[in-house]
Amino acid sequence: MSVIKKQDFIDSVESALQYISYYHPKDFIDALYQAYLKEENPAAKDAIGQILINSRMCAEGKRPVCQDTGIVTAFVKIGMDVQWDSDLSIQEMVDEGVRRAYSNPDNPLRASIVKNPVGPRVNTKDNTPAVVHMETVIGDKVEVIVAAKGGGSENKTKFVMLNPNDSIVDWVLKTVPTMGAGWCPPGMLGLGIGGTAEKAMVMAKESLMDPVDIQDLRDKGAETSVEKLRLELMDKVNELGIGAQGLGGLTTVLDIKIKDCPTHAASLPVAMIPNCAATRHAHFSLDGRGPNFIEPPSLDDWPVIEGSDKSQLKNVDLNKITQQEIDSWNPGDSLLLNGKILTGRDAAHKKIKDLVDSGQPLPEGVDFEGRFIYYVGPVDPVRDEVVGPAGPTTSTRMDKYSEMMLSDKSEGGMGLMGMIGKSERGDIALKSIAKHKSVYLMAVGGAAYLVSKAIKESRVVAFEELGMEAIYEFTVKDMPVTVAVDTKGDSVHKSGPALWKIKIQDNTNK
Ligand code: SF4
């Protein structure tokens, strides 16, 4: 019989959550580095390089790998011979660990949880509650996995009830391209197959807690039908050519994870959850002998990446930018931005729309005319930081506002010149971009700390009450971005994967 003390459990959860905010798992780093070495598309290689550089910087600086520090999911396996010395439930103890980890003064993490998803969506401010899955098992230990999942990848979750004889491979290959790049590939796909609808979902999430080991499986050879399916999906998903950040390239997934269980004879439930560039999970066990603090990794675990040669990139002065200059940019061009940009994401756009609809002016000092907007919700700064990790959020969510933002002021719009975010734009935004000869630039999702180092000044301009969703003005120096949509509305997220799919097919057929 083990006695697990409340404080030991809470301290261990708190420590593990801080740990995963700045340390990628070693297996993930190793797989990402292999993908970097192999990548042939320069834009995709550069994106993977930025994620690796960011990862090392975060490990050194103990700051979050991504500005979206995630919703916490915990898997708690409780031995039947365990006794608890606690006046809190397990959910309450996990939440207390979350609360402390996310408000750590040395490394505060962004609180992203809203308490009422239907309604005013008020932020709980401490990132609680966590999603906790519990299971009782034989033994006298408590095994805990904590993960922090970003919204961008969680939002791309898919589920289907196939007929028993339908092809899982066909469904995955048809579905992955519909997920776009908002899940910040390269990452992993977790599949839960069998059981019931909810069981398949939990298995898909839990499968992502296993290490990246597809190469070991390839070396050993597949023996079971699940192992064969993993290898087949791994090859065929990468042959789609989607590539890092959806730019087109050789690696879209670093691994395919699968958990399965018995199901009804009439059913084939399949859940698929992607894990992004910010793969974050930690595992520990408690046996009554005190808290478990995971050993920090060695910095030697991270490869040293040179990064792109800045002299080869186009320097852009945003304070003097002209229409002629943005007309000269092509999809896939790499730029270094300098000057002032405004920020705004979901809540700020909604507020602007509400003001426009009700005929009210924007707050004093907010003027988007001729400016660029960056879709971002940064982490709060600490010590001498201007801003905490500040990577891009998924731009697709702002598509419905693009016409309002890009139209001329004379037409009641905002007169915005360009946008910066991550992932592809939908057809409605592409149409507006072409109509207004605007442009859409892409920063690397999952390189948030690296991007934040390009931000030299920051001030809140409006909607301070929105916290991380307020409108800021950033002064940036050498902020790396890629032209994702040019002034004609041509998108690298359409042309890149199409091109690389053909290249990969041609190589396979040689
Ligand atoms: S890497 Fe991308 S999907 Fe993952 S948490 Fe960060 S922004 Fe979200």
- Whole-number pLDDT of residue 31: 98
Distance CA 318, CA 475 (A): 10
**If you take atom 3 of ligand 1, which residue's CA is the nearest one?**
152
Contact criterion met (CB below 8 Å) for 351 and 463: yes
pLDDT band at 309; cut points 50, 70, 90: confident
Pocket probe for ligand 1: among 54, 66, 189, 424, the residue whose CB has the most ligand atoms within 8 Å is: 66
Contact criterion met (CB below 8 Å) for 444 and 47: yes
- Whole-number pLDDT of residue 238: 98
Pocket probe for ligand 1: among 54, 63, 112, 153, the residue whose CB has the most ligand atoms within 8 Å is: 153
Amino acid at 133: H
- Whole-number pLDDT of residue 34: 98
Q: How far is the CA of 37 from the centre of ligand 1 (A)?
A: 22
Q: How far is the CA of 487 from the centre of ligand 1 (A)?
A: 27
Q: How far is the CA of 282 from the centre of ligand 1 (A)?
A: 18
Contact criterion met (CB below 8 Å) for 301 and 28: no
- Whole-number pLDDT of residue 313: 86
Q: How far is the CA of 71 from the centre of ligand 1 (A)?
A: 11
User: Please, what is the end-to-end C-alpha distance for the chain in angstroms?
Assistant: 62
Distance CA 444, CA 177 (A): 19
Region 211-236 average pLDDT:
98
Nearest atom of ligand 1 to the alpha carbon of 276? 4
Burial class (CB in 10 A: 0-12, 13-18, 19+), 345: buried
Nearest atom of ligand 1 to the alpha carbon of 70? 5
426-432: which pairs have CB atoms within 8 A and are 24 or more residues apart?
A: 426/396, 426/399, 428/399, 428/400, 428/402, 428/403, 429/395, 429/396, 429/398, 429/399, 429/402, 429/485, 430/485, 430/489, 430/491, 431/489, 432/402, 432/403, 432/406
Distance CA 68, CA 224 (A): 37
Q: How far is the CA of 490 from the centre of ligand 1 (A)?
A: 25
Contact criterion met (CB below 8 Å) for 415 and 408: yes
**If you take atom 7 of ligand 1, which residue's CA is the nearest one?**
445
- Whole-number pLDDT of residue 510: 77
CA proximity to 63, closest of 507, 479, 447, 336? 447
Nearest atom of ligand 1 to the alpha carbon of 394? 7
**If you take atom 1 of ligand 1, which residue's CA is the nearest one?**
446
Evaluate if residue 311 carries a pLDDT over 90. no
pLDDT band at 508; cut points 50, 70, 90: confident
Show the beta-strand stretches assigned E in 249-333: 253-263, 268-275, 281-286, 314-317
CA proximity to 152, closest of 176, 182, 186, 179? 182
Look up residue 408 and give its two tokens: 């001329």
201-207: which pairs have CB atoms within 8 A and are 24 or more residues apart?
A: 201/157, 201/159, 201/271, 201/273, 202/133, 203/259, 203/260, 203/261, 203/271, 204/157, 204/259, 204/271, 204/272, 204/273, 205/73, 205/147, 205/273, 206/75, 206/133, 206/145, 206/259, 207/257, 207/258, 207/259
Q: What is the mean pLDDT of the chain?
A: 96
Nearest atom of ligand 1 to the alpha carbon of 182? 3
pLDDT band at 468; cut points 50, 70, 90: confident
Protein residues with CB under 6 Å of any ligand 1 atom: 66, 68, 150, 152-153, 183-184, 276-278, 391, 445-446
Nearest atom of ligand 1 to the alpha carbon of 69? 5
Q: How far is the CA of 387 from the centre of ligand 1 (A)?
A: 18
Evaluate if residue 173 carries a pLDDT over 90. yes
Kindly report, residue by residue over 410-443, the tens digit of the pLDDT.
999 999 999 999 999 999 999 999 999 999 999 9
Nearest atom of ligand 1 to the alpha carbon of 153? 3
Q: Which phi-psi region, left, alpha or beta, contains residue 45 (left: φ > 0; alpha: ψ -120 to 50)?
A: alpha
Pocket probe for ligand 1: among 55, 68, 72, the residue whose CB has the most ligand atoms within 8 Å is: 68
Give residues with Cβ within 8 angstroms of 101, minimum separation 6.
13, 14, 15, 17, 18, 21, 109
Q: Percentage of residues in the chain with pLDDT exceeding 70?
A: 100
Nearest atom of ligand 1 to the alpha carbon of 67? 6
Cross-strand bridge partners of residue 158: 272
Half-sphere exposure of 232 (CA within 13 A, CB side): 13
pLDDT band at 387; cut points 50, 70, 90: very high
Evaluate if residue 310 carries a pLDDT over 80. no
Q: How far is the CA of 320 from the centre of ligand 1 (A)?
A: 32
**If you take atom 5 of ligand 1, which residue's CA is the nearest one?**
150
Scanning the structure block, which residue is given the tokens 């080869």? 312
3-state secondary structure of 257: strand
CA proximity to 197, closest of 263, 125, 265, 269? 269
- Range in 113-122, 223-232, 344-353 the model is least confident about: 113-122
CB atoms within 10 A of CB 94: 27
Pocket probe for ligand 1: among 67, 73, 156, 184, the residue whose CB has the most ligand atoms within 8 Å is: 184
Q: How far is the CA of 392 from the centre of ligand 1 (A)?
A: 8
Q: How far is the CA of 67 from the centre of ligand 1 (A)?
A: 8
Evaluate if residue 509 carries a pLDDT over 90. no
Q: Which helix (H) or strand (E) holds 504?
A: helix 492-509
pLDDT band at 120; cut points 50, 70, 90: confident
Cis peptide before 186 (omega within 30 of 0): yes
Half-sphere exposure of 45 (CA within 13 A, CB side): 13
Region 387-402 average pLDDT:
96
Q: How far is the CA of 394 from the centre of ligand 1 (A)?
A: 9
- Whole-number pLDDT of residue 160: 98
The CA-CA-CA angle for residues 420, 487, 320, to 5°, reads 65
Evaluate if residue 312 carries a pLDDT over 80. no
Amino acid at 111: A
3-state helix, strand, coil in the chain (%, to 5): 35, 25, 40
Nearest atom of ligand 1 to the alpha carbon of 68? 5
Longest dimension (CA), the chain: 75
- Whole-number pLDDT of residue 361: 93
Q: How far is the CA of 183 from the centre of ligand 1 (A)?
A: 6
Distance CA 191, CA 268 (A): 12
Kindly report, residue by residue over 45-88, the tens digit of the pLDDT.
999 999 999 999 999 999 999 999 999 999 999 999 999 999 99
Q: What is the pTM of this model?
A: 0.95
Q: How far is the CA of 65 from the centre of ligand 1 (A)?
A: 9
CA proximity to 484, closest of 335, 323, 320, 309? 335
Distance CA 471, CA 462 (A): 5
Q: How far is the CA of 164 from the centre of ligand 1 (A)?
A: 34
3-state secondary structure of 227: helix
Kindly report, residue by residue over 315-364, the tens digit of the pLDDT.
999 999 999 999 999 999 999 999 999 999 999 999 999 999 999 999 99
Distance CA 437, CA 327 (A): 8
